[in-house]
Amino acid sequence: MQRLRIGLIGWGTMGAAFGELVQDGPLPISLAAIAVRDPARARAIPMPDGVDVVRPDEALDVDVVVELAGGVEGPLTWARATLERGTPYVTANKALLATHGGELAGLARTNGAALLASASVGGGTPMIEMTTHLAATGRIERLRGAVNATTTYILSAMGEGRSYDEALAAAQAAGYAEADPSLDVDGRDAAQKLAILASVAWGRWRPEADVSTTGIVGLEVQPGETVRLVADATPDRLRVAPIPVDPEDPLARVTGVENLLEITMRDGSIFRVSGPGAGGPACVTAVYADVARLVAGERPILFRSAS
Ligand code: HSE
């Protein structure tokens, strides 16, 4: 079988972990190029020998583009250029998808390209896949979950009597928080993830702007109280907010890096999926699984309808 040539954009913790997996994992794929915004700058994480290091716009002439760089402006340009060539685009970039996912899904469809982003929600946990599976019948009634590890960590620690600042510092030290942790504590990381899940669940792309979002800054949690940043959606209402949860609620048992998604169907049946929602090694598992689908000849597009 011919090896798929990967153009990898981004060489941070995730990019490097994915690069290692490409070299050591079982799929017939190889790194054709590593792209970074400034190829001349030395990297904290050593790069493999023998792979070209280029600018992102020079890494698109490959079989698959994998973007793990973050940000919106650059990735939007690279995603458009990739999909217009009919080349698959795999990313973990939730901000990109929650702002321009409809347009990108449309471009993918028009050009026969694939668009995949398993790692954008739930880290390594296949939340998009379970939602896609259950959406096939058109009978999802509600999505509800804890999809941001940083706020789960902070709210758990505050329930154990620690201050907000202490808890945030610990979550950052644990490596859960975004580079800009305001995205976590303002609820935007969870809102972007919920917008992506809702788009998959109900077949129409929904932007982050459709989510009513309340973060956890300034929130008081009494010792012994269990509060979670709950992402909750029906077709008519998308909401992220800190909510006190009953100790028997599965969301109350979510701690640390774990994410949990609960999907309720119209017939009342409930499905749950949980697992590590943050951290490089978990997330690159999902990116690698997306690439495995391309190796198998699939050409999936994350969102069924662009609008
Ligand atoms: N900052 C995110 C979180 C990481 O805390 O869940 C993964 O999206």
Distance of CA 6 from the midpoint of ligand 1 (Å): 25
pTM of the predicted protein model:
0.96
Atom of ligand 1 minimally distant from the CA of 193: 8
User: 98-102: which pairs have CB atoms within 8 A and are 24 or more residues apart?
Assistant: 98/191, 98/192, 98/193, 98/195, 98/196, 98/207, 98/208, 99/72, 99/207, 99/208, 100/72, 100/76, 101/196, 101/199, 101/205, 101/207, 101/302, 101/303, 102/199, 102/205, 102/207, 102/303, 102/306, 102/307
Look at ligand 1, atom 4, and give the residue with the nearest C-alpha. Answer: 278
Return the pLDDT at 44. Answer: 86
Q: Domains in the chain and their CATH numbers?
A: 4-123+281-295 (3.40.50.720), 127-276 (3.30.360.10)
Q: What is the pLDDT of residues 266-302, one digit of tens each?
A: 999 999 999 999 888 889 999 999 999 999 999 999 9
Q: Which residues are catalytic?
A: 193
Ligand 1 pocket test, pick from 189, 194, 216 with the greatest ligand atom count within 8 Å of Cβ, gives 189
In this prediction, residue 175 has a pLDDT band, given cuts at 50, 70 and 90, of confident
Distance of CA 232 from the midpoint of ligand 1 (Å): 17
